[in-house]
Structure 1
């Protein structure tokens, strides 16, 4: 995966804890090796054995993906600090995946915790946030004035599809279609996100960053609105 990142982390289940490294291309691919078994998926809650068949090593699966476990990893995250320029912070992530809830019902629990560590301070997402969009919006709302996340979730050229999205990686980037995306004003009307959708460049993870980054402002909010989104009352 050329140009990818390597996230150090831990895998824990009832059989114990193992240090792992997650490899990602920042888009739609995550890989890791756990107890000698190679796993791959488009998301942290969708990691399946690369060979397709359940491995001999003990793991728990639901619909072909790991479950009944805790995944932890560290992501470097750029932060723009007024008067100081761009800094690098660390985003600690923990995803607890429960067991099967029953046929057709998914997992009985899926809990995401993210903690941004910057200058000795910790900023954590609210309990109940179930994806990186909500978690990073919450963290940005907590940051001091003049401190802004510098990542795809905060970029002027990114948006979501109105039907919804998963844990991470469903953020559409429009960096090669800026003139088209600049016109988007919502999901209805003459300049809607559906008309622009097929012009997207690619899908990216919320924590990714490229050289085309521009801070999202209140003057153009596309379909998903400003970043950070206003907190629910």
Structure 2
């Protein structure tokens, strides 16, 4: 895979708004500097101060991670358009992290909104989602026929653990175990994802992309096709 990427963005809380840049390795590391304080986490909803101690600058935290704020950022995203080849789109992301709801109760709100901008058109998920898997499935369903996202979330060699996953990342890449992954047909059994899981190459973010990409079609692996069939 290629090196890190830089996502322009903004941080907003009750004390004001600041333009920031998020640096990501595409796997499980995101860093940024806000009001002179360095933050790092494996997900946008898990950004903690690098020093480990609460900084002097005004912030709100829950379990050591930023909360009571709005994080916004832009991610370049490849899109394959039938008859036109691969185009570069921009995915606008907005994550609203609410206030602590009380001991052991998490935040009172956490909402992700994504909008894909391509050739002057905007394709937005219908409503706020809990994670990038659902948000990008919704964006894909809204794209015109013959237009496909080209990223790890839509790759033939990626899958999630049956126990679940968080807001982003945690998407297992099986690019070095393709023959084995092709045989996955569910959760349990000799060809289940549990049996195959330890063979995955690494964990990646949904919006990452490498040269091993192949379009995910049909019912593949444990999680099935992309886009997933919406719940009724």
Identify whether the pair has TM-score above 0.5, normalized to the shorter chain.
yes
Q: What residue in structure 2 maps to residue 226 of structure 1? A: 225
Structure 2 counterparts to residues 1-233 of structure 1, below 5 A: 3-218=3-218, 220-233=219-232
> SS in structure 2 opposite 1:231?
coil
* 2:211 counterpart SS class: coil
Moved more, 74-83 or 128-137: 128-137
Dislocated runs of 4+, deviation >4 Å? none
**Structure 1 residues 91-121: Cα deviation after superposition (integer angstroms, max 9, x where no partner):** 0000000010000000000010000001111
- 1:28-50 CA deviation, whole Å, 9 max, x = no partner? 00000000000000000000000
Q: What is the deviation of 1:87?
A: 0.2
**Cα distance between partner residues in 1 of 2:114 and 2:93:** 5
Instruction: Structure 2 unaligned segments of length 5 or more: list them.
Output: none
**Matched-pair contact (CA < 8 Å) for 2:60–2:68:** yes
What RMSD, in angstroms, separates the aligned Cα atoms of the two structures?
0.9
> In the TM superposition, what whole-angstrom CA distance separates every residue of 1:182-217 from its partner, at most 9, and x where no partner exists?
110110233100010000000000000000000001
Kept in 1, the 8 Å contact 2:68–2:97? The answer is yes
Distance in 2 between the 1:191 and 1:113 partners? 35
Structure 1 residue matching 2:79: 3-state secondary structure: strand
What is the TM-score when the length of structure 1 is the normalising length?
A: 0.98
Segments of 5+ residues of structure 1 without an aligned counterpart are none
Which secondary structure does the structure 2 equivalent of 1:86 belong to?
strand
Count of equivalent residues: 231
| Distance of 2:189 and 2:217 partners within structure 1 | 21
**Partner Cα separation in structure 1 for residue 128 and residue 153 of structure 2:** 19
Tell me if structure 1 keeps the 8 A contact 2:188–2:195: no
- Give the match's secondary structure for 2:153: helix
What is the deviation of 1:129? 1.7
2: CA distance between counterparts of 1:110 and 1:47?
A: 14
Preserved CA contact (<8 Å) 2:176 2:201? yes
Alpha-carbon offset, residue 128 of structure 1: 4.1
